[in-house]
Amino acid sequence: MSNRDTSISKSQAKSINKIKSESTDNERQPCLDRVYDSIPSLRNLFKIIRKVGEGTFSKVYLAELLEVPNNFFALKHLVPTSSPKRVENELRCLHELRGQNNIIDVKACIRHEDNIALVMPYIPHEKFQDYVYKMSATDTRNYMRNLFIALKHVHSHSIIHRDIKPSNFLLSSDTGKYFLLDFGLAQNAPQMPTDVVHNENKCPQKATDCTSLHGADQICNLCIAKREQKAPREGTPGFRPPEVLLRYPHQTTAIDIWSAGVVLLSILSAHYPFFKAEDDMTALAQIMSITGSKEMAATAKSLGKRISNNPEIPPLDLKTVCTKLRRNRSNVLTSSSTSNVNSDEFSTYNPTTTNEIMFPDSAYDLAKRCIDLDPASRITAAEALKHPFLSTDSHSE
């Protein structure tokens, strides 16, 4: 671990002091003792100050290096029940990416029996929901450009992050730099052409789907006997693309691009989270309310799946949707209803309000390219960095 820079900035000191003041010694000590008991060597290395984050597979603590006071780190304590393969995969990904191009660095890994702690830089930062509503076009361009720089680097190593969301992409209030973190769900991207047609759902008797061959309510015995198709479903609800929701097994790095597009929609609409659903079918319905039901059905068919909706839902214009939601943040896309977004309301909506944050048309075009329903034609991270919205100098607008 490097200890060359022992100084602490004013913003970092403010962030750490705030964390220290948010809980009493009695409140935090039992939790911290459990961490020390799980990995005894930590007592000789760090003073753990407080838990600052928690996920399904880990808890994150702010810690001060005992040997060098005022040198702070984030300790990511992995849940002991985590699969060894998952732990090994996260470490491998972080080692390959080497803390470059907006990827968080790992300073050390400490293990005791089945307990593992990753030592990473502590990044003082604001919560996304505290600044998303006031981000300008320039702020948005910088944020998305840096996110795609990180994704280009990740994807160049044939790695799918699988959990792109604002809480995993931090803007340091200390340095103004960006950091992509949490590779706990990351996996290797499959080495296969994107234009391969997969027919797992085709009826064995003919090259068509079973219901069209045998009738809407009839499925042949051969199809009934087929094994259930398995596909990765990891990711955060609201950020998972159609191919994941439809359980398409041949998933690619395009998963991360969709999630980045949802982040961009949250900024453009000042509406976070943009999608919020309790189950996969509701999530698909919410996506269809934006992209259209015919378009979703066509994508499902290309993936060897079948989906239908009655009545038909027309696609909506993203700029109109985002502008409306930005002006009326109470119109939330909740899991209970998708009626907040409907074609009649948005097709007749005309912007009239002044004194508001405006975005160029290129921003909405980039969002549209990112949430392309077809993963094969979805824009890549490298292509996104060349998109007019990200490649344009902000002073030229």
Name the residue among 176, 97, 98 with its Cα closest to residue 131.
176
Unique residue bearing structure tokens 């992409």: 169
State how far the Cα of 354 lies from the Cα of 360, in Å rounded to an integer. 15
The tokens for 285 are 């319905």
Q: Give the number of other Cβ atoms within 10 Å of residue 250's Cβ.
A: 15
State how far the Cα of 136 lies from the Cα of 139, in Å rounded to an integer. 5
**According to the annotation, is 59 in a ligand binding site?**
no
State how far the Cα of 3 lies from the Cα of 373, in Å rounded to an integer. 47
Amino acid at 233: R
Q: 244 burial class (0-12, 13-18, 19+ CB within 10 angstroms)?
A: buried
Residues in CB range of 27: below 8 A, 6 or more apart:
none
Alpha-carbon torsion, ordered 186, 190, 193, 196, to 10 deg: -100
- Given a contact cutoff of 8 angstroms between Cβ atoms, the answer to whether 76 and 60 are in contact is yes
Could you give the C-alpha distances from 368 to 27, 296, 322, in angstroms and in order?
Answer: 47, 14, 12
Amino acid at 384: A
State how far the Cα of 157 lies from the Cα of 96, in Å rounded to an integer. 8
DSSP string, 13-59: HHHHHHHHHTS-HHHHHHHHHHHHHHSGGGGGTEEEEEEEEE-SSEE
Unique residue bearing structure tokens 């409907």: 342
163 in catalytic set: yes
Amino acid at 342: N
* Residues linked to residue 65 through DSSP beta bridges, in sequence order: 46
Catalytic one of 163, 209, 256, 372: 163
Give catalytic residues, as residue numbers.
163
Known binding-site residue numbers for ATP? 76
Known binding-site residue numbers? 76
